[in-house]
Structure 1
Amino acid sequence: MTSQMRRIALARRPSGVPVPEDFAMETGPIPTPGAGEVLIEVSHHSLDPYMRGRMDDAGSYAASLELGETMIGQGIGRVLASEAEGFAQGDVVTGMTGWASHAVLPGDQLRVLDPSVPATTALGVLGMPGFTAWTALREYGRPKAGETLVIAAATGPVGAMVGQLAKAAGLRTVAIAGGDQKCQLALEKFGFDAAIDHRAHSEANSLRAALAEVCPDGVDIYWENVGGKILEAVTPLMNVHGRIPVCGTIAWYGGSDEAANRLPQVWRAILTKRLSVNGFIIFDHWDGFPAFLEEVAPKIAAGEIAYLEDITEGLENAPQTFIGMLTGGNTGKTIIKV
């Protein structure tokens, strides 16, 4: 076992899309677990869009990272030493390890993983992204057979799960993705009924026209992952009493977007169409996670739900991979193999 741990810390606060200089690789001694704690050798950690918001010094639903603090994130790894009841050396666990090779966490913040499915699924389809899709589609999307659902970032870990769950519930599912490859992935791997390449449309009006062709009965549920021109394109197509679960607005993370200046038009459509727009934070629903695992884990093990993981090797490559993910460079759930 190596005698040093490596971690990636927040070196400075980004302006717009992060750049490599906003991160710092640091080394130090491997920490020692105290009473009730577990030492983990991290094998993989997750990269997720919400991490960009934590890099800012601004009020939000969770505390900002301090300068010099390890970048936040869920990881999986092997227990090296345990001072907590219920954990033994060699157990494979998951918890908020951050971007690091090792982590010490309290036992009550860890979960031993089910060996019947690949461990990395705990970061994606059986982790926060999958749980987000399962929870918010049911609670805020309120899908009904025969309706039409549109989702942007459709081949990401949340979008792909939302599409498959909606399809299984009898909805028509329409993917919006970036590029021909991702559109084909949405159709062939995740079973969407139609897919639109947003990169082929520089303006919302053009994208709206393309969506109208594949949504002849309008849109009942728009799952919001992106914001920007996609929100502007979809909103006028919404049916009366449509629903918009707001999961993220990645087009506006850390920068400006000229579509933001046209938000009053979107807001008026919310009024005239009597839409239900629900922002949600998945951590508010965490008590439902066991039920999610009970329902979805057997379907993953049986191959009934498809998923895709985009794994990059090397902790040192996490910053550049994260930057690429924020600009659409990933295909599937973005994971770093430490």
Structure 2
Amino acid sequence: MSKKSPFKKVNEFRNKQWVYTKRPEKLVDQRHYTLEENVISISDVKLGKALLKSVYFSIDPYMRIQQSKHNTWEEPYPLNTVQGGAVVAQIVAINDNSSSLKKGDWVLSYTGWQEYAITEISSLRLLDPIDVSVTTALGVLGMPARIAYFGLLEAGLPKKGETIVVSGASGAVGQIVVQIAKIKGCKVIGIAGSDEKTKFLKKTIGVDEVINYKNHSSAKEMSQELKRVSPEGIDIYYDNVGGYITDAVFEHININARIVICGQISQYSGGLDTPEMGPRFLHKILYKRATITGVLARDYNNRMEELLLEMTPWVQNGLIQYQETIIQGFEKLPEALNMLFLGKNKGKLIVKI
């Protein structure tokens, strides 16, 4: 991938933006957004700022959490604003002669669903397209990696020989968690939603046991399957899903088990504002003297360099494998967000202009 800038010398750009205009009650789709257009000019780039051309957009479950009408880790995402999100972009113009960044550089930004954006230079992370693919900054070397790496190692505290169960194991976060757990010497059980996904987990990235949860549609059935694949019990549960899967796992946790809550995607479409009851087996936490820890990627924002130092070589030498689902077309962004909750993506979900 060349670093040469593909942009012509023009002063103005027609800019499209997806503006978040209506709170969803269940699934989110195009009805909850308005596509707007405006013009953005190089003359608008003030000192210390850069004009970016967006190329790849990260699609993440937390976007739906932010759309709840209730406070989560922050106030509800404001209506009538551009949908936020991580973006891999190229610099079109930059107004700072002292910056090491230059026109044509690939960067990671948080400028959201718009084709062009002006942002602070200090907020940008330079990407090297020769080192690894720039899309990895949205997944296996981005925010999902941050919460997988630190969430597992610092909240899960894996030890060689322990058994870990990971729900949503083929997703952007899960596919990283299971591989780090294998690197640390754990027995890994991955739960996913299709035979194709469980095959990827088993054959490609070496998960020890896999469960297609769609073949086990109740907590009782799931509990029976967990007992079959982990008769030794469960030491760590890395939860990306919630719901009855979590209920079933609690039946099999060992003494001093660690339960890491990263996501509850089963509850996001309709369950955020009126959540289901559960888990209903908290007495198991008492009996087993287990811990439950919630983890957020933002808690580790300032430790990204630490992660990249260890994980970049893992990706380069193939020790960490990853899947990406890339959807073509800026107009597909709302539809792509909906895909997350229908299980249509494999690994990290990205939209490309």
Normalization by structure 2: what TM-score?
Answer: 0.92
Distance across 1 between alignment mates of 2:317 and 2:75: 39
* Residue in structure 1 matched with residue 300 of structure 2 by the alignment: 285
Unaligned runs of at least 5 residues, structure 2: 1-7
Alignment of 1:256-335 (within 5 A): 256=271, 260-263=276-279, 265-335=280-350
More helix by share: 1
In structure 2, the CA distance between the partners of 1:77 and 1:19, relative to structure 1 (3 Å rule), is closer
Alignment of 1:1-338 (within 5 A): 3-30=13-40, 32-84=44-96, 85-115=99-129, 116-256=131-271, 260-263=276-279, 265-338=280-353
Distance across 2 between alignment mates of 1:222 and 1:244: 5
Deviations 1:241-290 (A, max 9, x none): 10011101111114239993243x32221222111110122211222110
Deviations 1:57-83 (A, max 9, x none): 321213432211111110011100111
Distance across 2 between alignment mates of 1:327 and 1:174: 22
Deviations 1:189-214 (A, max 9, x none): 22100100101112110011011100
Distance across 1 between alignment mates of 2:135 and 2:314: 16
Structure 1 residue 330: Cα displacement: 0.9
Distance across 1 between alignment mates of 2:85 and 2:278: 34
Letter in 1 for 2:63: M
- % same residue: 34
Structure 1 residue 327: Cα displacement: 2.2
Greater than 6 Å deviation, 4+ residue runs: none
Q: Tell me if structure 2 keeps the 8 A contact 1:229–1:259.
A: no
Task: State the secondary structure of the residue aligned to 1:88.
Answer: coil
Normalization by structure 1: what TM-score?
Answer: 0.96
Distance across 1 between alignment mates of 2:79 and 2:26: 17
Return 308-317 or 278-287, whichever deviates more.
278-287
Q: Tell me if structure 2 keeps the 8 A contact 1:157–1:333.
A: yes
Task: State the secondary structure of the residue aligned to 2:276.
Answer: helix
Q: Tell me if structure 1 keeps the 8 A contact 2:243–2:278.
A: no
Distance across 2 between alignment mates of 1:261 and 1:102: 43
* Residue in structure 1 matched with residue 3 of structure 2 by the alignment: none
Distance across 2 between alignment mates of 1:272 and 1:169: 27
Letter in 1 for 2:37: T
Distance across 1 between alignment mates of 2:112 and 2:29: 19
Unaligned runs of at least 5 residues, structure 1: none
Task: State the secondary structure of the residue aligned to 2:189.
Answer: strand
Task: State the secondary structure of the residue aligned to 2:237.
Answer: strand
Q: Tell me if structure 2 keeps the 8 A contact 1:312–1:336.
A: yes
Q: What do you get for the CA RMSD once the two structures are aligned?
A: 1.6
Return 221-230 or 106-115, whichever deviates more.
106-115
Distance across 2 between alignment mates of 1:136 and 1:261: 25
Structure 1 residue 150: Cα displacement: 0.3
Aligned residues: 337
Q: Tell me if structure 2 keeps the 8 A contact 1:38–1:87.
A: no
Letter in 2 for 1:7: Q
